C-alpha cells in the first residue's frame, strides 16, 4: 500500500557548525557530536546527513558579521535545495545565528507556494539589530533579521524580501530580553508567549495556539527550538542559561497534540556539548525532540492518508485514470 512507503520519509539533516556568534564558543562542536551520537544512531526516525556547513570565523561580537554572512548564505542554499527536493528537513546548529540561514533558505524555496510560519521556542527574543545590541553577539539577532530589520548583509540572503512576516511568527518561552527587542516586536505586531503565560496556561495550550496562529495564512510552518528555552536542569549544555524555563517533559508530551502534517522544517540550536552533564541530559533532549517531532508527523500523515483512502470512491479512481491517460 502506498501510504506505508510515503510516510517513511528519511529525515534529511543539515548541520551548521557555527559558534562565533554566541556568547561562549562551543556550539560549533554540536553538529559533529550529534553526527557521532550513539543516541541519535539508535533513534527510531530514519535519517541521513545531507551536509555540515562549516564556520568562516572573521572575529567575535560584531566582528563576526562578515563570516556569519558567508556561512548563513551557504546554509540557506542547503535548506532551499532540501525544500525544493521535497526532503524532510532538520537543521542542527550551532549558535542561533544559524536561524538566519535556515529560514531564509526555507522561505525563498517556498515563495512560489506561500509564506512560511515560524514558532520560535527560546528563553530570549533574539530580536536585536547591530545598533540596539549591547553585546554585539549575532546569536541575539536572528529574529530581527528574518523580519527584514538590521544589517542588509544578513536580511537579504538569497533575496531582498523579509523572510518571515510578523503575523506568521510566534515566540514561546521568553523570559530574557532588552527593551529595544520588546519595542521592535511590539511595533511589528509579533505575538510573544512569555514564560509567565506558559506557566499559567500550560505548554500544550500555548503551543496549540502558536501552531494555529502561524498556520492561519501560510503554506506551512517551521519550528526553531533553542534548547535554552527549557528548564536549565533539562538542558544544562547552553551558553546563555536562564532560570524558569519550559518543562522539557511537558513540551515532549505536548508535541503529539499539535497538527504537524504541514511542518516544513525544524531547527534545534545552542547545544554546547562541553557543558553537558555525565548523563548527557542535553544530548538526550535533542534526540528526544527529533524522535517525538518526526514520529508524530509521520504517524499523523499515515493515519490521515489511511482515512482519505477509505473515503475514496471508485469514481475517483476512474477520474484519476482518465487524467493519467490524457497526459
Ligand X SMILES: NC(=[NH2+])NCCC[C@H](N)C(=O)O
* 138 vs 254 by CB, closer to ligand X: 138
Which of 231, 234, 270, 276 is close enough to bind ligand X by CB under 6 A? Answer: 270
Write out the three cell numbers for 130.
Answer: 547591530
Residue 274: closest CA among 91, 95, 29, 55: 29
Could you give the count of Cα atoms lying within 13 Å of 173 in the half-sphere of its Cβ? 29
Position 140 contacts ligand X (CB under 6 A): yes
Bridge partner residues of 223 (DSSP) = 119, 266
Tell me how far CA of residue 58 lies from CA of 69, 85, 109, 292, in angstroms.
10, 32, 28, 37
Give the residue among 103, 124, 120, 96 at the shortest CA–CA distance from 22: 96
Shortest Å, Cβ 238 to ligand X: 7
Q: Which stretch binds ligand X (CB under 6 A): 9-17, 132-140, 251-259, 277-285?
A: 132-140
Taking the least distance from each CB to ligand X, the nearer of 17 and 82 is: 17
CB 133 to ligand X: min, Å: 5
By the rule CB under 6 A, 126 interacts with ligand X: yes
23-62 mask for ligand X (x: CB under 6 A)?
Answer: ----------------------------------------
Bridge partners (DSSP) of residue 51 are 14
Q: C-beta of 266: minimal distance to ligand X in Å?
A: 17
Of 93 and 220, nearer to ligand X (C-beta) is: 93
Give every strand in the sheet of 221-226, ordered side by side.
Answer: 47-54, 11-17, 88-92, 263-269, 221-226, 117-121, 169-174, 191-194
Provide the sign of the torsion angle of the four alpha carbons 226, 228, 233, 237, taken in this order. positive
Residue from 37, 78, 79, 133 that binds ligand X (CB under 6 A)? Answer: 133
Residue holding cell 538569497?
158
CB of 177 to ligand X, least distance (A): 6
CB of 16 to ligand X, least distance (A): 13
Smallest distance from ligand X to CB 183, Å: 14
Q: In this complex, which beta carbon is closest to ligand X, that of residue 117 or of residue 229?
A: 229
Q: What is the DSSP string of 264-279?
A: EEEEEE---GGG--TT
Do the Cβ atoms of 34 and 92 come closer than 8 Å?
Answer: yes
Residues 165-224 that bind ligand X (CB under 6 A): 178
Closer residue to ligand X in complex, CB, 45/91? 91
Strand partners, 269: 226
Which range binds ligand X by CB under 6 A, 57-65, 81-89, 131-139, 149-157? 131-139
Cα angle 130, 135, 138 (rounded to 5 degrees) comes to 50
Q: How far is residue 32's CA from residue 38's CA, in Å, rounded to a whole number? A: 12
Q: Given candidates 50, 128, 175, 297, which one binds ligand X under the rule CB under 6 A?
A: 128
What is the widest separation between alpha-carbon atoms in the chain? 65
- Residue in 47, 50, 73, 96 binding ligand X, rule: CB under 6 A: 96
Residue 139 binding ligand X, by CB under 6 A:
yes
Smallest gap, in angstroms, from Cβ of residue 286 to ligand X?
15
Nearer to ligand X, 126 or 283 (CB): 126
- In angstroms, the CA 231 to CA 249 distance is 10
H or E segment at 75? helix 65-84
Instruction: Using CB positions, name the residue nearest to ligand X.
Output: 140
Q: Hey, which residues between 217 and 246 contact ligand X (CB under 6 A)?
A: 226, 228, 240
Residue numbers at the binding site for ligand X (CB under 6 A): 96, 124, 126, 128, 133, 135, 137, 139-140, 178, 226, 228, 240, 270
Amino acid at each position: 500500500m502506498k501510504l506505508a512507503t510515503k510516510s517513511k520519509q528519511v529525515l534529511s539533516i543539515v548541520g551548521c557548525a557555527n559558534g562565533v556568534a554566541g556568547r561562549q564558543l562551543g556550539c560549533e562542536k554540536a553538529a559533529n557530536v550529534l553526527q557521532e551520537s550513539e543516541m541519535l544512531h539508535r533513534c527510531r526516525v530514519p535519517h541521513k546527513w545531507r551536509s555540515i556547513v562549516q564556520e568562516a570565523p572573521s572575529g567575535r561580537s560584531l566582528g563576526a558579521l562578515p563570516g556569519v554572512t558567508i556561512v548563513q548564505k551557504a546554509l540557506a542554499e542547503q535548506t532551499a535545495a532540501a525544500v525544493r527536493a521535497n526532503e524532510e528537513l532538520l537543521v542542527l546548529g550551532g549558535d542561533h545565528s544559524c536561524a538566519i540561514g535556515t529560514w531564509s533558505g526555507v522561505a525563498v524555496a517556498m515563495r512560489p507556494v506561500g509564506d512560511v510560519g515560524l514558532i520560535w521556542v527560546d528563553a530570549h527574543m533574539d530580536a536585536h539589530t547591530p545598533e540596539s545590541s549591547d553585546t554585539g553577539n549575532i546569536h541575539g539577532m536572528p529574529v530581527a533579521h528574518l523580519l527584514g530589520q538590521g544589517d542588509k548583509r544578513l536580511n537579504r540572503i538569497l533575496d531582498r524580501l523579509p523572510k518571515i512576516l510578523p503575523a506568521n511568527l510566534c515566540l514561546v518561552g521568553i523570559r530574557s530580553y532588552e527593551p529595544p527587542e520588546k519595542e521592535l516586536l511590539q511595533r511589528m505586531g509579533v505575538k510573544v508567549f512569555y514564560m509567565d503565560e506558559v506557566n499559567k496556561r500550560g505548554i500544550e495550550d500555548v503551543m496549540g495556539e502558536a501552531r494555529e496562529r502561524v498556520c492561519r495564512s501560510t503554506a506551512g510552518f517551521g519550528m526553531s527550538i533553542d534548547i535554552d528555552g527549557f528548564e536549565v536542569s533539562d538542558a544544562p549544555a547552553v551558553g546563555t542559561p536562564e532560570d524558569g524555563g519550559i518543562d522539557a517533559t511537558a513540551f515532549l508530551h505536548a508535541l503529539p497534540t499539535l497538527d504537524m502534517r504541514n511542518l516544513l522544517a525544524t531547527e534545534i540550536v545552542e547545544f554546547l556539548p562541553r557543558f553537558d552533564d555525565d548523563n548527557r541530559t542535553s544530548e538526550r533532549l535533542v534526540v528526544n525532540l527529533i524522535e517525538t517531532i518526526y514520529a508524530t508527523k509521520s504517524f499523523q500523515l499515515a493515519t490521515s492518508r489511511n482515512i482519505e483512502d477509505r473515503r475514496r470512491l471508485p469514481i475517483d479512481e476512474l477520474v484519476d485514470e482518465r487524467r493519467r491517460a490524457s497526459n
